[in-house]
Amino acid sequence: MTPSTRPSKPKAAALADIQSTPDRRNIAIDRVGVSDLRYPIVVRDRARQTQQTVATLSLSVALPSHFKGTHMSRFVEVLNAHQRPFHIQALYEMLHELKKKLHAETARIELSFPYFLARKAPVTGAEGLMDYECGFEAESNGTWDDVVVRVKVPVKTLCPCSKAISEYGAHNQRGIVDIAIRPAARPDGTRELVWIEDLVEVAERSGSAPVYSLLKRPDERYVTMQAFENPAFVEDVVRNVAAQLRDDPRVAWFRVHVVNQESIHNHSAFARIEWTRPDVG
C-alpha cells in the first residue's frame, strides 16, 4: 500500500476533563501539586555568574472547593518553559504563570539543591569543593509575592566549658547552621540580592572554625588551633549569625537554627532565633 492509499486516521473524540468537573463536598484544598520532581537547573553564582546543579522541586496551587482536581501536567509544562537561571524574579514569573494556567489564587514553589563552592585550605592553599544544601521557597497570592532563601552550612565548634575545666584539650563537634532569610523589598518592588555565598560566609564566621573538604597536616594544625582559640556554645553560634543578619539592611526577616552534633553526649544541642526587621510592614 502506497502512502497515497493509506486510510486516514479517524478523528479523536473530545476527551473528558474530569479535573474541572464540580465537586459537591465544598472543601477547598490548601495545596495540591507535584513533589519529588528532580530537574536540572541553573542558579546564580557570585564568582562564575552561573552554576549548574540538580534540584528537587515541589510545585503546588490552592484548589477552590468547586473543582474536583487540578491539572498536574501543567506544573511540569511551566517548569519546562522556564529553563534559565533561577533567581527571585524568575520564580515570581513561574508562580504567576501557574496561577494563570491553573486558575488558582495562590501558587507555591519549593526547591532544594546542592550548591558547590571552591574552598582553599588556610595554610597550604589546597583547594577542594564544598557542597551546601540550599533552596528557595516562593509563594504568590492575590496580595503579595514572597520568597525565602535557605542554606545549611557545616561548621566546627569547640565547647567553652570543656576548655575551661580540662587540664588539656576540649571536646569538639560539627555544627549545622541552617539559615533562612527573606530579602528586603526595594522601592521598585524587586527584592535585594543576597548571594548564597554571603550566607555561607556568615555561618562560617560564626562557629569556632570553618569546615573544609581538603586539609593537609599544616592545615589541620591551623584549624584545630583556630577552634581552640574561638570556643563557642550553640547559643554563641546562633547569636553570632543573628547579629550579622540583623545588621544587614538587605535582610527583612531571618530564622536561624543551629544544631551541634555532640561528640561526648548521646544527644544533639540546638538553638534557634527568628527575627523580623521592625520597619518592615
- CATH fourth-level superfamily of 27-276: Urate Oxidase; (3.10.270.10)
Contacts of 127 (CB under 8 A, 6+ apart): 118, 119, 120, 121, 214
Of 62-66, 85-89, 112-116, 143-147, the one with minimum mean pLDDT is: 85-89
Name the residue among 29, 33, 143, 140 with its Cα closest to residue 95: 140
Which of the four pLDDT bands, split at 50, 70 and 90, describes residue 26?
Answer: confident
Inter-residue contact 130 to 117 (CB < 8 Å): yes
Separation of alpha carbons 80 and 63, rounded Å:
22
More confident residue, 182 or 81: 182
Lowest mean pLDDT among 1-10, 146-155, 181-190, 269-278: 1-10
**And the C-alpha cell for 101?**
494556567
55-59, 81-85, 156-160, 224-228: range with lowest mean pLDDT: 81-85
pLDDT, residue 1, reads: 53
Q: For the chain, what are the domain ranges?
A: 27-276
What pLDDT digit, counting tens, does each position of 189-232 carry?
A: 888 999 999 999 999 999 999 999 999 999 999 999 999 999 99
Q: Each residue of 248-270: pLDDT tens digit?
A: 999 999 999 999 998 888 898 99
Higher-pLDDT residue of 277 and 8 is 277
What's the confidence (pLDDT) of residue 132?
A: 97
Which pLDDT does position 240 carry in this prediction?
Answer: 98
**Residue 202 contacts residue 210 (beta carbons within 8 Å):** no
Q: What is the mean pLDDT of the segment spanning 90-106?
A: 90
Rounded alpha-carbon distances, angstroms, from residue 167 to 158, 164, 171: 15, 8, 12
Burial classification of residue 25, based on how many CB atoms lie within 10 Å of its CB (0-12 exposed, 13-18 middle, 19 or more buried): exposed
> Which pLDDT band, with edges at 50, 70 and 90, does 5 fall under?
low
pLDDT averaged over every residue in the chain: 90
